[in-house]
Amino acid sequence: MVHQTMASKITSASNASSKINPMKSRLLRLMAIAAIVGTLVACSTRAPLPPSPSPSLPEASPKPPSGPLTGQPPVSKSRWVPASWAELPGFDSDSLHEAWNAWLRSCERPAPAFAPLCGDIRRLSIANETEQRAWMVERLQPYRVESLEGGGDGLLTGYYEPHLEATRQPGNGFDVPLYRPPANLATRRPWYTRQQIDTLPEAQAQLAGRAIAWVRDPVQALVLHIQGSGRLLLREADGSQRLVRVAFAGTNEQPYKSVGRWLLDQGLVRDATWPGISAWTQANPQRVQEMLWTNPRYVFFREEPLDALDAAFGPRGAQGVPLTPGRSIAVDRTSIPYGTPVWLASSGPTVQLSRLVLAQDTGSAIVGAVRADFFTGWGEQAGEIAGRLKQGLRLWVLWPK
């Protein structure tokens, strides 16, 4: 899924100030459901577990690897420094079974280096955390991720999947369209700007009959464009309702401009996190369209069904597998390959994190060695966290020995 991160793309000048407590129980429930699904899948191919070494963590610095990382790592824009397991904050206390479901998803389209491990990963989905942790120590080597200049500190932001009410036909306040790509999108580059799409008859003619659905709020539609995917509670023409997903299908290839940055530059807000922007739009409805047009980029979508299994996960990320709330991150693929397990540590005013995550997505704002976008889930509370999350980060990749 190609997305713009909420915190880094809405603004680069404001500090986050929230707590994860209101979201914590909900995320845990969602991840528990996802973990049950992964366990049911794994049970159909249950096999004896591999031998488990002692789970004690090595304190000494590891020897240089003799495997695929001898010489240059498989990336070009980061430096990987061998580390001990004891260096990873919270390694002995993380709920690994929550992350294992995301790892099972990565094994649906594994990176070449991890494909040989997927049999063990599937079997270990029904193991206890002591066995999972011991297997990781035996089979994987931690590497601290640093910039090419040697810095190990980076930035963590968040993203999520908006959940909006929508109708199949316009009317009754639902007058903001979500479009499929126009037929001539590939032949006109860049395509019309956001303002031109809203105002030029020739642009509107190209989009006639291309609306997937209609939503109420143009600001929430912009959020959907920024995130690149969302869920719609869709009212059909016969009055029935169903849940569908709209996924990223392309852009007009115009440059992205931050509406938060514009508000700051105009002196209209001091808090350019998404909650701050939302408060401004509610107080200044007559200027909302002006704000929206400052961002010329426009996103087109495709509709996807959302059954009970799909609803337990997020949209498909750039790796091609569904994202797991709280356990999937977007990365710069020139720093960390897709499908890589990563130990993430971040401490700040919005969230305290020390956990196993999987690199399964990317974003146009996710650039740099120690840089990640944390998938918080879907809905209003997930959006609250994602909109405020902007804090320090350290990363360790866990690479096969």
- pLDDT tens-digit map of 91-138: 999 999 999 999 999 999 999 999 999 999 999 999 999 999 999 999
pLDDT category at 80 given cuts 50, 70, 90 is very high
CATH number of 300's domain = 2.40.240.50
Q: Are residues 267 and 323 in the same domain?
A: no
Is residue 63 in a domain? no
Backbone angles phi, psi at 145, to 5 degrees: -90, 130
- Radius of gyration of the chain from its Cα atoms, rounded to whole angstroms: 22
Q: Are strands 241-251 and 229-235 parallel, antiparallel or unpaired?
A: antiparallel
**Residue pLDDT, tens place only, 143-172:** 999 999 999 999 999 999 999 999 999 999
Q: What is the pLDDT of residue 1?
A: 66
Q: Is 288 buried (19+), middle (13-18) or exposed (0-12) by CB count in 10 A?
A: middle
Q: Are residues 298 and 327 in the same domain?
A: no
Q: Are strands 140-146 and 154-161 parallel, antiparallel or unpaired?
A: unpaired
Q: Are residues 181 and 240 in the same domain?
A: yes
Is residue 148 in a domain? yes
Q: Is 228 buried (19+), middle (13-18) or exposed (0-12) by CB count in 10 A?
A: buried
**Residue pLDDT, tens place only, 198-257:** 999 999 999 999 999 999 999 999 999 999 999 999 999 899 999 999 999 999 999 999
Q: Are residues 28 and 153 in the same domain?
A: yes
Is residue 296 in a domain? yes
Range of the domain at 108: 22-47+79-158+313-400
Q: Mean pLDDT for the chain?
A: 85
- The whole-angstrom separation of Cα 13 and Cα 263 is 11
Is residue 164 in a domain? no
Q: Are residues 89 and 181 in the same domain?
A: no
277, 309, 341 - which closes a domain: 309
Flag the least confident range among 23-27, 177-181, 351-355, 381-385. Answer: 23-27
Question: Is 225 strand, coil or helix?
Answer: helix
Q: Are residues 280 and 196 in the same domain?
A: yes
Q: Are residues 129 and 183 in the same domain?
A: no
- The whole-angstrom separation of Cα 251 and Cα 259 is 17
- CA-based angle 140:146:147, to the nearest 5? 140
Helix, strand and coil percent figures for the chain, each rounded to 5: 30, 25, 45
Is residue 61 in a domain? no
- The whole-angstrom separation of Cα 230 and Cα 246 is 5
What pTM, to 2 d.p., does this model score?
0.78
Domain count, the chain: 2
Q: What is the pLDDT of residue 54?
A: 35
Q: Are residues 33 and 100 in the same domain?
A: yes
Q: What is the pLDDT of residue 65?
A: 42
Q: Are residues 317 and 305 in the same domain?
A: no
Q: Which residues contact 91 (CB under 8 A, 6 or more apart)?
A: 57, 85, 133, 343, 354
- The whole-angstrom separation of Cα 373 and Cα 364 is 11
Q: Are residues 259 and 365 in the same domain?
A: no
Flag the least confident range among 171-185, 189-203, 297-311, 330-344. Answer: 297-311
